């Protein structure tokens, strides 16, 4: 397994050095999935297409924040942009289940009051992240699934589409290959999907530039974390799940505390991408925020109170150093430690983390993660590969 990208990771360094001078009035970070993403596997044209998609999401979220909008609105705007981009495994670029359906999951959390909402198994709601937010703001619940979630989304006026809206040829062909490899039955082509192009070579055709590559080896999730000018933190995540998933499988994305979490009290917002089962077992997003809260309390001279909170939540520092961290970016330290724990139990993936002062951290134990960040007073940057320095 590849070693965890350390706190000195390119984007983290660039962000933290600027933030050390002056905290931004707003800050935004996004991701479009982590996994085996290597330069040799992306043509220059596809590399550019992914970067353009990331920049479009950053632009959408930044437009909200520059006008004094809320962190929640910015997160939703950024994620919805990626949900509409067929390059990403969310919304219109979602992978297929073994039954030949797109089943979509999403979650959102408001760090200022710990309210949260999530959905799983949507098939007709255009923007699952909007449905998750509606659950949070317009229902007494936190999680809705399947037909009930769909009915609720429609009842509050969210845009509904035919299932064929989410269809992309590359994802469909990737499903057929996965099922053939497992000697599983092939489902019929979805109703409403365009006819299969006669020029496609079998069994694995070349994908068009505006769709994900067929041999993609990444965990398909998109997410955003934000800090607004009023100091509010928020996080949101959306996914189509795993290719050829069965039996109503649900991963970490809609599980609050696993793939998504935000807490102003801890000074942290997290969106994760990776092998969902492991991220659930490790309660990744919540643990990162707990680590940050603990380290920050130690910085502020409130270690005893922090330890009491940690004990009450049955959490420990797991031997991590919680002293003299003020010279490091604690968001990166916490993220790296948690991703190392995920790796120790066999999981792969990455996280984006936002601190209470707008510090951005990216951590992964994979060869790449589609990601980007922006903030007031600094240029936006996007990156793909783990060793990459984002260009100004």
Q: Which residues contact 67 (CB under 8 A, 6 or more apart)?
A: none
Residue among 256, 371, 265, 355 at smallest CA distance from 26: 355
The CA distances from residue 355 to 115, 260, 358, in Å, are: 18, 14, 5
Cα 121 vs. chain centroid, distance in angstroms? 17
3-state secondary structure of 52: helix
Q: Say how many CA atoms lie within 13 Å of 246 toward its Cβ.
A: 7
CB atoms within 10 A of CB 165: 15
What whole-number distance in Å separates Cα of residue 112 and Cα of residue 300?
20
What is the residue whose two structure tokens read 């995920």?
A: 342
3-state secondary structure of 135: helix
Give the sign of the dihedral formed by CA 384, CA 382, CA 115, CA 288.
Answer: positive
> 71 and 234 in contact (C-beta within 8 Å)?
yes
What is the residue whose two structure tokens read 């596997």?
A: 41
Edge-first strand listing for the sheet containing 349-355:
260-263, 268-274, 349-355, 360-364
What whole-number distance in Å separates Cα of residue 167 and Cα of residue 283?
32
What whole-number distance in Å separates Cα of residue 43 and Cα of residue 102?
27
- Give catalytic residues, as residue numbers: 221
């Amino acid at each position: 397994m590849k070693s965890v990208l350390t706190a000195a990771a390119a984007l983290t360094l660039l962000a933290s050095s600027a933030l050390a001078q002056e905290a931004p009035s707003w800050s935004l970070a996004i991701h479009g999935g982590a996994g085996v993403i290597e330069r040799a596997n992306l043509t220059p044209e596809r590399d550019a297409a992914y970067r353009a998609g990331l920049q479009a999401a950053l632009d959408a979220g930044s437009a909200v924040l520059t006008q004094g909008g809320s962190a929640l609105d910015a997160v939703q705007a950024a994620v919805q942009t990626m949900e509409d981009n067929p390059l990403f495994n969310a919304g219109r670029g979602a992978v297929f289940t073994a039954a030949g359906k797109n089943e979509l999951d999403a979650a959102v959390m408001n760090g200022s009051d710990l309210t949260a909402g999530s959905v799983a198994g949507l098939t007709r709601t255009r923007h699952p992240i909007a449905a998750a937010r509606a659950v949070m703001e317009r229902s007494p619940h936190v999680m809705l699934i399947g037909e009930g979630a769909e009915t609720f989304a429609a009842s509050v006026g969210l845009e509904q589409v035919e299932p064929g809206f989410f269809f992309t040829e590359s994802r469909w062909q990737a499903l057929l290959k996965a099922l053939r490899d497992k000697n599983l039955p092939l489902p019929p082509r979805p109703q409403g999907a365009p006819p299969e192009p006669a020029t496609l070579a079998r069994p694995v055709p070349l994908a068009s530039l505006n769709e994900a590559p067929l041999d993609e080896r990444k965990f398909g999730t998109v997410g955003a974390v934000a800090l607004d000018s009023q100091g509010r933190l928020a996080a949101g995540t959306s996914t189509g799940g795993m290719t050829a998933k069965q039996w109503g499988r649900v991963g970490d994305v809609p599980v609050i505390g696993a793939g998504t979490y935000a807490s102003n009290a801890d000074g942290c917002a997290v969106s994760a991408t990776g092998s969902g089962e492991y991220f659930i077992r490790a309660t990744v997003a919540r643990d990162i925020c707990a680590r940050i809260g603990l380290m920050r309390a130690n910085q502020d001279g409130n270690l005893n109170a922090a330890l009491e909170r940690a004990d009450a939540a049955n959490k420990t520092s797991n031997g991590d150093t919680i002293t003299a961290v003020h010279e490091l970016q604690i968001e990166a330290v916490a993220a790296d430690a948690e991703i190392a724990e995920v790796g120790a139990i066999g999981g792969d993936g990455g996280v984006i983390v936002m601190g209470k002062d707008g510090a951005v951290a990216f951590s992964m134990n994979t060869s790449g993660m589609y990601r980007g960040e922006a903030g007031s007073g600094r240029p936006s940057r996007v990156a793909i590969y783990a060793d990459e320095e984002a260009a100004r």
